[in-house]
Every structure is written in structure tokens, then in C-alpha cells.
A and B are shown apart, each in its own frame.
Chain A
Amino acid sequence: MEKIQVKICAGTACFVMGAPQIQALEFSAPEDLADKIEVTEVRCMNHCSQGKGYNKGPFVEVNGEVIEEATMEKVVAKIRDLIAKEEEEKC
């Protein structure tokens, strides 16, 4: 199974809205997810300036899907969701 790509915006606005708390995913991901995800910090992906609103950050992309006002819980839930879907497809 290919690793799920998690991209965390490291732009200034996302940073002050709480991106560092999500960066912890890289160092302390839940055990069952640790080897299934690849976390990268990226510079501003421009979601804020392209209509979503600057205060809707932090923005995180999980396999290309944008999560607004992301939190650790939201991101983990999205990852679990994708894993569940993939497993369903396999069956």
C-alpha cells in the first residue's frame, strides 16, 4: 500500500493558527499509522489566498484533500478514513 501523503502548510498564517501542533504527527504519530503516512511540511500552498480565508488555517492536505482549520484529531480522522476506504476497496 502506498503511503498516505500528509502535507502541512508551514506558511506564517497557518503557523500562527496552529500548524506546529499538527507537525507533531511526524514525530509522534499513533502507532498504527506511523508507517502508513509520510508527513511533509510545505511552504504556503495558497489555499488561504484562494478564497478559503486566511483565518481558516491551518491547512493540511491529506492525499490532495484539503482540510481547513485542521487539528491533529481532524487529520488523524481523515487518515483513518482513507485507510478504511482503501481496505474496503481491496475486499
Chain B
Amino acid sequence: MSDSLFIEIGSCQEHKASESCFGDAILSKKLPEEQRIISVLSDGLGSGVKANILSSMTTRMAMKFVESDLDLVRSAEVMMQALPVCQIRKISYATFSIIDATLEGKTRVYEMDNPQCFVVRDFQQYHPAHHEISSENWKDRVINVYQFVAKEEDRIIIMSDGVTQAGLGNPKYPLGWQRDGVWKLIENQVRRHPHISAKDLAEAIVKEALTKEKDGKAGDDISCVVVYYRRPRKLLLLSGPPFDEEKDHEIAEMIDYYDGKTAICGGTTANIIERELCLKCEMDKTTFDPNIPMASIMPGIDLVTEGILTLTEVYRMLKEGIDEDKDNAATRLAKLLLDSDKIDFVIGTKINEAHQDPNLPMELDIRRNIVKKIFRILQSKFLKEITVKYV
């Protein structure tokens, strides 16, 4: 995308304690060709499956309309007409908050009946200019539109009313947590951790909302999305020897001059870098795990691991979740990948004959295949910006 700003999206949700599924829905999408990010949060009428259907339909429709740049009032009308009518309340209804942001900073937030968004700038609330629009047919439904140019380190926070009304019914919070209460927590968090990630801030908000609830059980669906504009955290991941040995020096220079974090996955690759850059590499015994080869320590390189077994395990964790209780080479690599926004893969295509021996007790994948799986999941599930170069 761009070297300038990066937009990080983080979200957190908790469903109503008495239900088994979320009544709120969140959908985020990157449009790389337009350098644009859209995030939608919707709160469906009621809770449970019925609310989930309403909110999921709303997020999908809103995403489609916003990314196609259709007229908002017309889009909102279509959405309201398309939603199924509640048998009990005889209305069709789901709220929404939409953040439509570009990497240049041009940002729009649309809100209908969700709590007002927070825009955080320099640790304070920033109140962008906004106007209201409503449709002829639905006069009681007002859409708030905020439009402003975001700056580096700005944050936008949208949420469902489960956040601002957390604690309602609890004698300690007769009116719920309320907007001022939520702001106090946000302010406290950003002052204490000025670079807190979008995901961590969203989690902190939802976690704190839960503490307001009676017995810590959510009385409504609680959802929060944080959008954070910041400089991208870059990572270069080098794995595999180049097909042509003459390129050894080229990849070594690539890692030497890279302006971000660097990781090497593969013993032979580490040997090449060690030789070309005259570095000394030692095993890092703190990463001992009987199932994953140990990581190594090489000066100037953030992480050095074995190749195929570690990458295979990283892929498994990206799919199923990171094993938080372990500290091995694979968990470190997975965390490094998730902590980065822009990841440049440089993949050597030389086949390691050793791995193709049918007498080995387990099947080892070809590097190129496993790396493909990893970068696809990083792109689709974690919205990372990826480049891949085969050497």
C-alpha cells in the first residue's frame, strides 16, 4: 500500500451471557487497490440468533454499499427494507456504525442509532464536524456522518450500546457505564500505553465493560472496534536458499539493509547469512521444545528459526490460535508475524532433498507451499499487507 500511514483494525466482542451466539456483527475489509479500509459494526434487534441474522445481513449489505460508493441514504433505505420483520416488535431493525478510511487519512464515519463514536487525538477527544441525514421514508432514523482527515496516531472507536450501557440493572451503575465512563477508560489506556494496539484497546474496553455488569455477566451483546492510524511495523522474513547460489549475497544484503524487523526461517538460510555477513549464530536454549527445533540468536536479526517444521506449526497456530502457554521458536515467529503490519517474504526456491526422502517418519511439505498458506491466511484473516518474492 503506502509507506506513510497504516491503519490497524482491532475488535473485541462478548455475547449476552444467556445466549450462545453474538447478536452484534463486525465486518472489516481492506481494499488494497484503493488504499482504503472499511469496518462495519451492527447491533441487531434483540439478541441471539435472530439478532445475529439482522446484524450480519446489515454488515454485509453496508460493506457492499460503502465499497461501491453508493448513495448512503438510498443504501440505508435498502438495508432497512431488506431486513426481516421481528415477529414480536413488528419492525425490522439493526443499528450500524461504519468507518470508511483511506491511508491518506480521509475518513468518514456513518452512524445510525449506535453510541456516538470516539475520535482520539493527542490523548483527547476530537470532535470532527458532522451532519445528519435522514430518508424521506424513515424520518425517525437519523444517520450521523462525520468527515475529517485523520492524522498519524489518531484512533477511532465505534461500539454497540452494550458498552455504554454496561452495568444497567446493577445497583452500582443504575444508568450503566455511560459514555463518560468509557472515555475515562480510553483516556487512561492511551495515556498509559501511547502505542497500545487496536486489538488491545478494544479488548480493554470490552473487559472493563464486563466488570460493570452484575456478576460480570454480559446483559447485552458488547462489541467494540478500534481503528488506529500509525506507521507500519515492517518485517522481512527470509526462508530458503536461493535457487541460484550467486544470489546468496543479494539476499544477505537485503536483510542487512532492511528498515524493519527481520527473521530467518531455515538452517541453511541462516548458514548463508552467517557466512555472507560474517555473523556468529548460537542456539537459543530458552526455546527448547521437544516438538519444535530451537531458535537461534544472530546479532542484528530479530529471530532465527528452523524452516519447514516451524513454518508448519506457525500455520497451524494462525488457523487455530497461538499456544500462549508455550515459548518456542514457532510461537515467537507467529507472534512476530501478528505484531507486524507489512510483511515482506523472500523465499528461496531451492528444494531441500533431505526433506523429500520417503524414509523420513513424517511428511515434510515443500517450503513454497507452506509459505503460500501462511501468507494467504495473514492476508485474509489478519488483514496484513504482504509481498512475496521468490529467489
Contacts and interface: CB of A to CB of B under 8 A. Distances in A.
Contacts of B359: 54-55
A15 to B, nearest CB: 5
Contacts of A54: 353-354, 357, 359-360
A33 B55 CA distance: 67
Interface string A23-46: 100110000000000001111100
B290 A20 contact: yes
Interface stretch (B140-148, B167-175, B194-202, B267-275): B267-275
A4 interface: no
B354 A15 contact: no
Interface stretch (A5-13, A70-78, A80-88): A5-13
B293 A10 contact: yes
Nearest to A55: B359
Contacts of A13: 354-355, 357, 360
B267 A20 contact: no
A40 B293 CA distance: 13
Nearest to B291: A20
B362 to A, nearest CB: 5
B308 A41 contact: no
Contacts, number: 65
B361 A12 contact: no
Interface string A48-91: 11000111000000000000000000000000000000000000
A40 B306 CA distance: 16
B283 A40 contact: yes
Contact of B294 (A10, A12, A44, A48): A10
Interface residues of B, number: 27
A9 to B, nearest CB: 9
Given A15-B309, A16-B362, A48 B354 contact: yes
Nearest to B283: A41
Contact of B354 (A11, A40, A43): A11
Contacts of A26: 285
A21 B308 CA distance: 19
A43 B357 contact: no
Nearest to B361: A16
Nearest to A18: B361
Prevailing SS type, chain B contact patch: loop
Contacts of A49: 353-354
A12 B271 contact: no
A17 B294 contact: no
A55 B268 contact: no
A17 B306 CA distance: 15
Contact of B360 (A40, A42, A55): A55
B306 A15 contact: yes
Contacts of B309: 12, 15-16
Nearest to A8: B283
Nearest to A41: B283
Contact of B355 (A12, A20, A42): A12
Contacts of B361: 16-17
B352 A12 contact: yes
A23 B268 contact: no
Interface in B69-94: none
Contacts of A17: 360-361
A44 B364 contact: no
B258 interface: no
B23 interface: no
Q: Which of B270, B293, B360 has the most CB of A within 10 A?
A: B293
B360 A16 contact: yes
Contacts of A12: 267, 293, 306-309, 352, 354-355, 364
A3 B309 CA distance: 32
B288 interface: yes
A42 B281 CA distance: 10
B267 A55 contact: no
A5 to B, nearest CB: 14
Contacts of B271: 43-44
Contacts of A20: 290-291
Nearest to B268: A44
A10 B309 CA distance: 12
Nearest to B307: A12
Given A12-B354, A16-B362, A43 B290 contact: no
11 contacts: A12-B309, A12-B364, A15-B293, A15-B306, A23-B290, A44-B268, A48-B354, A49-B353, A49-B354, A54-B354, A55-B360
